[in-house]
Structure 1
Amino acid sequence: MVNNLPRQTMFKCLPFLCLIIHYSTCNEYKLRYAAVIYRHGDRTPVDTYPTDPWGEESFWPVKFGQLTNIGKMQHYKLGQWLRQRYVNFITDEFDPEAVYVRSTDVDRTLMSAQANLAGMYPPDVNSTWNPKLFWQPIPVHTEPEVNDEILAMKKECKMYEKLKKVYLNSEVYKNRLRQYEDLMDYLTKYTGRKIRDYEDISSIYSTLKIEALYNFTLPNWTHAVFPDKMKSPACYSFTTATATPAMTRFMIGPLVKHILKQALSVILGDSKLRLSMYSGHDFTIGNVLNGLSVYNGNCPEYTSTILFEFIEKESEYYIQLSYRNSTEIVEPHVLNIPNCGELCPLQHFIQLYEDIIVVDWETECEEKYGWLLFFCGIISLSFLYTIVEAVKFYKKKDQYSEEYLKSKLLLNRL
């Protein structure tokens, strides 16, 4: 069977095969740490519109905004897929020191994480506590959304709100939105709701898409605009929260910093963590992809998943980003990191995105100090790389010591 595969396909599969067998034969690759961000599974509409014929909860299997049985199964299967991907990287039994799971404080994301873990960690002989129930409890951590700048990305930040206001009032934003004026007027007329921007279009698009998935008959007026004319502006809505480097810094900076700190702690031997999983929303996926300049313009589907995989090769460390955007179990495609490629040296990755790696989020969010700390953070990170390169030049030590030193400096900086 392998002999029948095209050579190009075999080469594309090689890095993934090396991860699967955990360098037992491909010993030049060694997976050290992985962070997985996924969207929740199938849900009912979060909200409907005034003229929606399906706007009553009685038409739906569960209350509005809740995870459905379809969504539970989607994540159960995703959990099984993650188990297979990391089969020789994590133990069969859940290890709280090696695996960490976090969710936004929303029912559908918490339940998605639990369904995912049910597929990932079916109970074995030692962990079976009820012979009639093929399930075991696995901890899922969360934080109230108003206190969560890392995953929910909803904690108040005055500096971000100021930057967002400037962007929304910019000619760049207004000129692009202007091309959808006829669409917004049309939607306003037929939905009974004032449609003003991309987010409003996305809200109606999402509701119609869910109703279509459930085979509900859509109103006749939708045929002229859904899905074709609505899809592009709806998907563009996932770029507006991270439209500028400064906005991106406040929006996804805490999450990127959090993942990098965990990875560096593992590399330095300070942590036994191997896998972190984050249960979020479509905007979580969209913000991260667009903030890292790898968003392809397609709306994140249910269970869409971003993989951050930190790989060691010959005592050097790399990061590989992969993405799967389907409700079906499909293999992710490796993302091409701008100016770095598919297998990006970790130090170079941090340097590329230094302007979005937040230094002190709480302090920078204060309008009084935000701009000053933003520029000071970039300057200090640049100075750090100068030190690293100087040490690299003068210290005649083995490669692992050099890489260890670089990791230590970067971790202290983060």
Structure 2
Amino acid sequence: MLICWYVAIYCVALSLEQNIHSTAEKSVAIDENAKLVIFGMRHGNSHPRTFLNENSRTWGFEGVDELTQFGKREGFGFGKELREFVGPLVANNYMRHEVAFYTSSANRFYPPDTFAEWNHALEWSPVPYTIDNPMLQMYSVPNCSTTQKAWEPIIRDDLPELMLMIAANEQLLEYIAEHTGWNTSIESASDLANNILEMNLYNASFPDWIERPTLAEFDKRSLREAVMTFLDMHLLTCVSYEPCRNIMGGVWLGHILTTLRNAVDSQQSQKFIGYVSHLEVTLSVMKLLRINQTLLDTSAGFLVEYRDKPNKSIRLLFHETLAIDRHIIRQAEYVEELEELSDSDRWIPFESFYQLVKDEAITNWEEACGRQVAQCTTSGSDNVMSITDNSSGDSTLADHHITSLASCVIAIYFRNIVIMHLLSYSIMT
């Protein structure tokens, strides 16, 4: 079954270059009583983290891991569909009092330069966004033992399902290692799968060892299909492995619940909140939200719609690319326990939803990482100021995009009236 899923991904990727889709499906409409829309998305199509060492490569000039021209178009297609969905809920220009966007520190900002320039006819304007790695890229946060422990059996291929996959594909993995110089591992096969995906999109030529394989029982087609079963394998394993899923998506879930709680309590002025992250993070939070989704294509993700009439309730939606430039928003599929809470139109009472998912939300990412409680002390004083959020109440899930070090510095500044004056001046200017 797992192999079939990955072959399906491969076939979808091949169809992207044709930029067609036979389904005349239309996006769902926003509810007339909607007060808040939240979206999360996986970033658009991007280059592999490791390129095949081929002298004739004519693609990938943006660099490893960077967005491709297809990824930019995917993101733009979603932006258009999203703008049509929210309609007059927010102004044409994204203003800070109405919207907020969150991303990780991965390079995904537009516009690029020189060969990567695209569509000068559009008026590009800045939008208010915050970089928040603990929420959207936890694996890049240093000194997080919980993340390290969760990823270790995945990276080392020590989980039973990964060990079985290696045993079943031993000759293929050795063949890949022989011709790439990479390690004999699932990670290497996944890197090759990403290269094949992009080479198909760019209509690039394959090296001879892929075009005319010498591995027994494989031809050109079957070799590519076998390699594509490894696409994003470690990332998807993280989503299915509970310790990894919870630490990857828990902070994000907490932020979503905080935003929804504030809306319910009429304390949320912003009406449109968006997040952009990576496959394993986005799909993990979708699982924690109880969306029944196993795979996630580039630029795909979820929406949470909140309304206050006829009762305070939410609806979960799913969005994905139908073709490179075309996106669709439709009803998400719920897991059984969430389905039981929803009405015939798939709306779920907020409090029931909150009680179902709240236990997996992370309210303090430093504690979740196993760090010691950070404390600030001032010279010549016995006073100690803790900057760790120890709130345990359901309604006090918090933002965590300010680091402990920055919080300590600010706290110390406010202990000194002269420094406070300088700080105030710097903020105003």
TM-score over 0.5 for the pair: yes
2:166·2:185 contact (CA, 8 Å) conserved in 1?
no
User: How far apart, in 2, do the equivalents of 1:291 and 1:309 lie?
Assistant: 16
How far is 1:61 from its partner? Answer: 4.8
Q: Identity over aligned residues, as a percent? A: 16
State the TM-score, normalized to the length of structure 2: 0.66
User: How far apart, in 2, do the equivalents of 1:138 and 1:186 lie?
Assistant: 48
Unaligned runs of 5+ in 1: 1-8, 24-29, 114-118, 120-131, 370-379, 382-408
User: How far apart, in 1, do the equivalents of 2:88 and 2:95 lie?
Assistant: 14
The counterpart of 2:151, out of the listed 158, 164, 170, is 164
User: How far apart, in 1, do the equivalents of 2:167 and 2:364 lie?
Assistant: 37
- Cα deviation per residue 1:185-223 (whole Å; 9 max; x = unaligned)? 2221222211312x4322211111111111111124332
Structure 2 match to 1:310: 306
Tell whether 2:194 aligns with 1:206.
yes
State the TM-score, normalized to the length of structure 1: 0.69
Structure 2 match to 1:323: 319
The counterpart of 2:330, out of the listed 329, 333, 348, is 333
Tell whether 2:257 aligns with 1:260.
yes
How far is 1:83 from its partner? Answer: 1.1
1:212·1:218 contact (CA, 8 Å) conserved in 2?
no
Structure 1 match to 2:137: 152
Unaligned runs of 5+ in 2: 1-22, 113-117, 211-219, 340-345, 374-390, 399-429
Aligned pair in 2 of structure 1 residues 294, 221: CA closer, same or farther (>3 Å)? farther
1:285·1:300 contact (CA, 8 Å) conserved in 2?
no
Q: How does 1:236-275 map to 2 (within 5 A)?
A: 236-275=233-272
Structure 2 match to 1:300: 297
1:45·1:65 contact (CA, 8 Å) conserved in 2?
yes
Aligned pair in 2 of structure 1 residues 346, 245: CA closer, same or farther (>3 Å)? farther
User: How far apart, in 1, do the equivalents of 2:78 and 2:397 lie?
Assistant: 35
Aligned pair in 2 of structure 1 residues 93, 264: CA closer, same or farther (>3 Å)? same
1:285·1:305 contact (CA, 8 Å) conserved in 2?
yes
Helix, strand or coil for the counterpart of 2:327? Answer: coil
Tell whether 2:99 aligns with 1:99.
yes
1:323·1:332 contact (CA, 8 Å) conserved in 2?
yes
Q: How does 1:114-263 map to 2 (within 5 A)?
A: 135-143=123-131, 148-153=133-138, 154-156=140-142, 157-165=144-152, 169-197=158-186, 199-222=187-210, 223-263=220-260
Structure 1 match to 2:407: none
The counterpart of 1:348, out of the listed 347, 352, 358, is 352
How far is 1:70 from its partner? Answer: 4.3
Report the AA paired with residue 178 of structure 1.
A
Structure 1 match to 2:16: none
How far is 1:368 from its partner? Answer: 8.4
1:104·1:279 contact (CA, 8 Å) conserved in 2?
yes
How far is 1:332 from its partner? Answer: 2.6
User: How far apart, in 2, do the equivalents of 1:355 and 1:200 lie?
Assistant: 36
How far is 1:235 from its partner? Answer: 4.4
User: How far apart, in 2, do the equivalents of 1:308 and 1:294 lie?
Assistant: 11
2:34·2:307 contact (CA, 8 Å) conserved in 1?
yes
1:319·1:349 contact (CA, 8 Å) conserved in 2?
no
- Cα deviation per residue 1:372-411 (whole Å; 9 max; x = unaligned)? xxxxxxxx99xxxxxxxxxxxxxxxxxxxxxxxxxxx632
Report the AA paired with residue 163 of structure 1.
A
**Count of residues in Structure 1 that have an aligned counterpart in Structure 2:** 331
Structure 1 match to 2:387: none
User: How far apart, in 2, do the equivalents of 1:183 and 1:297 lie?
Assistant: 26
User: How far apart, in 2, do the equivalents of 1:33 and 1:43 lie?
Assistant: 30
Report the AA paired with residue 47 of structure 1.
T
How far is 1:170 from its partner? Answer: 4.0
User: How far apart, in 1, do the equivalents of 2:246 and 2:306 lie?
Assistant: 22
User: How far apart, in 2, do the equivalents of 1:298 and 1:220 lie?
Assistant: 31
1:49·1:192 contact (CA, 8 Å) conserved in 2?
no
Helix, strand or coil for the counterpart of 1:234? Answer: coil
How far is 1:288 from its partner? Answer: 3.1
Higher helix residue share: 1
Structure 2 match to 1:32: 35
